[in-house]
Amino acid sequence: MAQQLRFIPLGGLGDIGRNMNIFEYGRNILIVDAGVMFPESDMLGIDLVIPNFEYLRQRKDWVRGIVITHGHEDHTGALPYLLKEIQAPIYSTKLVLALIDRKLKERLGARHKTEMHEVTPEGSFRIGPFEVHAIPLSHSIPDSMALAIDTPAGRIIHSGDFKIDFTPGSGEGPSLARLAALSADGVLALLSDSTGAEKVGFTPSEKTIEPAFDRIMREAPGRVIVASFASQLSRIQLIVDISHRYGRKVAIAGRSMEQNFEIARRLGYIQVPKGAFVRMETAKKLPPKQVTLLTTGSQGQPEAALARMAAGRHRDITVRDDDTVVISAHPIPGNEEEVGRMINRLIERGAEVIYPL
């Protein structure tokens, strides 16, 4: 009797975040992604939402490997919790592995002994009965990939998160030729995930926001404080470049932003002109017109740097009348209330706040 191929989403199907899918054939399980989700407004006292691992707990000896499609928290954030219970090697691209390694060392300490295998942008590798082919796709973080997964039952295409951007802020852009070649002989199933996919039209290229940031950096009377996802490296690169163009020094507020910035800079995913980056202690001594602050907290998280600035309890930064605050991310569904409250507090402190409508 032929064995069955099972696809089981443990998170991410029908909600924004905690992405985690498993492919099961016989007594073999391949996990794709393991992310977290921001709590919804009625989840009082909850800091993070993770997938339910119960199905895997009962089959932990079947897990052959974990493939991570890209480095966002909603695809990697649950790994420390998963790896406390299930040991399996992780496969992903260079940048993603570096971000994961930092996360696991921080959360697991000496217990972090996870095998890690680097995947080249168009590489192929075997995990148990599964042959996995990487397909480079563009996203808001470099080194993102789709997967073509060969199983004994047929080929699955798993898109990961993506947008078709041929002029990305970093990286080579999508390899649609490889996607087409791997699909030419037929596909058993396409698993596709793209925020806003129900909307008609195309997502604009990352390059299209440059004129707006150029105007803000040129015209702002004092500091420019930009809140973005810490993993949105192409946006960070753009902000560094434009700040340097107008003689602004870039400093960072927010631990995850600082860690990701250092990792990306060390690996060459962010290029920083000489003298363009300074520590916060130096930035505090400079004229406001010469300062750009990169910060976390675009989703209104109460303990993130921007929310603490808005509440007047950040140890290094006090919001002033001549500050321009740019919230460079749309609210994730469920976060609108927290983001709105934070914007109101920043305006009350006298800052000009620029945010997506």
Q: Where in the sequence of the chain do the CATH 3.60.15.10 domains occur? A: 5-191
Residue type for 265, please?
A: R
Q: In this predicted structure, what is the pLDDT of residue 326?
A: 97
Mean pLDDT, range 111-128, rounded to an integer? 92
Report the topology of domain 5-191. Answer: Metallo-beta-lactamase; Chain A (3.60.15)
Domain 206-354 has CATH 3.40.50.10710: yes
Q: Where in the sequence of the chain do the CATH 3.40.50.10710 domains occur? A: 206-354
% of the chain residues with pLDDT over 90: 70
Please state, in angstroms and rounded to a whole number, the distance separating the CA atoms of residues 310 and 223: 15
Q: In this predicted structure, what is the pLDDT of residue 170?
A: 64
Q: Would you place residue 171 in the very low, low, confident or very high pLDDT band (cuts 50, 70, 90)? A: low
**Mean per-residue pLDDT of the chain:** 91
- Find the helix or strand (DSSP H, E) in which 54 lies: helix 54-57
Q: Is the pLDDT confidence value at 206 over 80?
A: no
